[in-house]
């Protein structure tokens, strides 16, 4: 049936990860995504850890491709009124505009939602911010580390008691927020099919972070209390914590059922623990958590993880390995579940990346190409607007726009 968003044009006026990740997924769904970058390029270029490669191996910005694959890049100076006018012209041919620029910057450039949609009322205008577009902090810069993990309360919930809040890896909150934006944009496109009208859709890191901890926050909204942080040695149940095995691997148990306890003790070779009067019901195990955890720590440390796998399955305990990334990459189930795909790059060759986190049995979803170089498609896109070649060269000479190398010139 073809790609679901074939024929849809998306104008991406964004940088870093959250909004661009939404654009990348729309490209996977078949949309023509035109990425508008500053003359120096998206701030995210080159910022993430670059993989170590053998000497002489063609290089590219591998992490950048995940959130920018399949797009066309146009480099425009928005501070120049001529550049902002070009973006307005591009918006006229777009179905969706995605942005994460601060509201004050958009307004200053004449590209705020009210300004753009006054001319283009059918446009779906999608906005990502740190804290929303209203309120005293609407114009405050944020990353997911600050607004999503910190301000939304996630760090306070996962910290061990009396310990510093943990660090989080880059992009986790951004990618969740990109999915939230994608959901809203697709719903708005469906509504436009019915009404003929575009609209403004918004999401922000603070809100999405709050949504992800809704199971805790929903209760706290009623009693106004902070959930009690619990260390690994003080779980609600000894069947709901982590244990280190003899080979250094960690296993993660996620069961509470009192009925599982006798079978669990039998399978791990400690049947006496099931009838030990200190631990023979769930309430006692909760109250004497550190004691029973110490016993189980010693037991699990006596054998490697593969030894425990069949025994935990036989006990009916929900569990899994705490995988390292190399283990995940080699996991047959992850491959069967469609977690990975590949990108073909004209210089770096074929390399592995992540697939869109969904699939469709009647619609083509997949990578359409690598991420573009800065301004790689500037001439192509501007000429497609109907701007004459001489005018395009004038804009290039005046540094209003920039035309970068093609992907074939991208080796570093």
User: What CATH number should be reported for the domain holding residue 304?
Assistant: 3.30.1540
- Digit-coded pLDDT (tens) for 308-362: 999 999 999 999 999 999 999 999 999 999 999 999 999 888 999 999 999 998 8
Same domain, 195 and 276: no
- Digit-coded pLDDT (tens) for 139-172: 999 999 899 999 999 999 988 888 888 889 989 9
- For residue 276, name the pLDDT band (cuts at 50, 70, 90): very high
- Residue 229, in any domain of the structure: no
Same domain, 253 and 356: no
Angle at 408 between CA 411 and CA 343, to 5 degrees: 85
The residue ranking higher by pLDDT, 141 or 410, is 141
Query: What pLDDT is recorded for position 410?
Result: 38
- Digit-coded pLDDT (tens) for 60-78: 888 899 999 999 999 999 9
- Residue 236, in any domain of the structure: no
Same domain, 312 and 338: no
Nearest Cα residue to 23 out of 212, 186, 197, 211: 186
Mark which of 316, 342, 363 sits at the end of a domain. Answer: 316
CATH code, domain with 23: 3.40.50.10540
The domain containing residue 292 runs over which residues?
A: 242-316
- Residue 326, in any domain of the structure: no
- Find the range with the poorest average confidence among 57-66, 91-100, 217-226: 57-66
- Residue 172, in any domain of the structure: yes
Q: Is the pLDDT of residue 223 over 80?
A: yes
Same domain, 247 and 305: yes
Same domain, 360 and 383: yes
- Residue 58, in any domain of the structure: yes
Mean pLDDT over all residues of the chain? Answer: 92
- Digit-coded pLDDT (tens) for 224-265: 999 888 888 888 899 999 999 999 999 999 987 788 999 999
Mark which of 293, 316, 339 sits at the end of a domain. Answer: 316
Mean pLDDT, rounded, for 116-128: 96
Query: What pLDDT is recorded for position 411?
Result: 33
Percent of the chain with pLDDT over 90: 83
CB 397: neighbour CB atoms within 10 A?
9
Same domain, 310 and 197: no
Tokens of 99: 């942005």
- Residue 228, in any domain of the structure: no
Tokens of 225: 């209390």
- Residue 161, in any domain of the structure: yes
Give 312's contacts (C-beta < 8 A, 6+ positions apart).
251, 253, 264, 267, 268, 319
Q: Is the pLDDT of residue 135 over 80?
A: yes
- For residue 406, name the pLDDT band (cuts at 50, 70, 90): low
Same domain, 48 and 77: yes
Counted domains in the chain: 2
Same domain, 155 and 65: yes
Percent of the chain with pLDDT over 70: 98
Same domain, 192 and 61: yes
Nearest Cα residue to 94 out of 109, 77, 111, 75: 111
Query: What pLDDT is recorded for position 1?
Result: 67
- Residue 22, in any domain of the structure: yes
Same domain, 165 and 189: yes
Query: What pLDDT is recorded for position 245?
Result: 97
| Torsion, CA 328, CA 315, CA 283, CA 225, rounded to 10 | 30
- Digit-coded pLDDT (tens) for 166-214: 889 989 999 999 999 999 999 999 999 999 999 999 999 999 999 999 9
- For residue 408, name the pLDDT band (cuts at 50, 70, 90): very low
Same domain, 95 and 155: yes
> Which pTM value belongs to this model?
0.91
Same domain, 92 and 162: yes
Mark which of 283, 316, 349 sits at the end of a domain. Answer: 316
């Amino acid at each position: 049936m073809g790609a679901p968003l074939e024929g849809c044009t998306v104008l991406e006026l964004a940088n870093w990860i959250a909004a661009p990740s939404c654009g990348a997924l729309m490209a996977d769904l078949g949309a023509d995504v035109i990425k508008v970058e500053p003359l120096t390029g998206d701030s995210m270029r080159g910022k993430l850890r670059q993989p170590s490669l053998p000497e002489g191996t063609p290089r590219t910005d591998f992490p950048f491709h995940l959130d920018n694959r399949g797009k066309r890049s146009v480099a425009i100076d928005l501070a120049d009124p001529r550049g902002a006018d070009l973006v307005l012209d591009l918006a006229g041919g777009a179905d969706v505009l995605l942005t994460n620029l601060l509201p004050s910057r958009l307004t200053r450039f004449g590209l705020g939602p009210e300004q753009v949609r006054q001319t283009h009322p059918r446009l779906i205008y999608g906005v990502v911010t740190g804290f929303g577009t209203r309120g005293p902090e609407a114009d405050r810069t944020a990353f997911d580390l600050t607004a999503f993990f910190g301000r939304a309360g996630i760090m306070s919930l996962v910290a061990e008691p009396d310990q510093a809040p943990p660090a989080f890896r880059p992009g986790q909150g951004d990618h969740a927020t990109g999915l939230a934006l994608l959901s809203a944009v697709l719903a708005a496109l469906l509504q436009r099919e019915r009404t003929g009208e575009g609209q403004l859709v918004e999401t922000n890191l603070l809100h999405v972070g709050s949504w992800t901890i809704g199971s805790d926050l929903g209760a706290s909204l009623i009693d106004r209390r902070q959930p009690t942080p619990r260390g690994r040695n003080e779980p609600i149940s000894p069947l709901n914590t982590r244990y280190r095995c003899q080979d250094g691997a960690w296993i993660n148990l996620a069961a509470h059922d009192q009925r599982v306890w006798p079978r669990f003790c039998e399978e791990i070779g400690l049947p006496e623990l099931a009838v030990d009067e200190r631990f023979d019901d769930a309430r006692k195990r909760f109250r004497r958590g550190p004691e029973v955890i110490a016993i189980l720590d010693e037991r699990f440390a006596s054998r490697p993880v593969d030894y425990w796998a069949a025994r935990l399955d036989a006990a009916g305990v929900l569990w899994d390995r705490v995988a390292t990334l190399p283990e995940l990459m080699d996991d047959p189930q992850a491959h069967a579940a469609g977690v990975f795909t590949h990108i073909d790059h004209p210089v770096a060759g074929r390399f592995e990346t992540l697939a869109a986190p969904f699939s469709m049995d009647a619609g083509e979803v997949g990578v359409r190409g690598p991420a573009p170089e800065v301004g790689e498609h500037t001439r192509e896109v501007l000429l497609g607007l109907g701007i004459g070649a001489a005018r395009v060269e004038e804009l290039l000479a005046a540094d209003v726009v920039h035309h970068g190398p093609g992907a074939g010139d991208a080796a570093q």
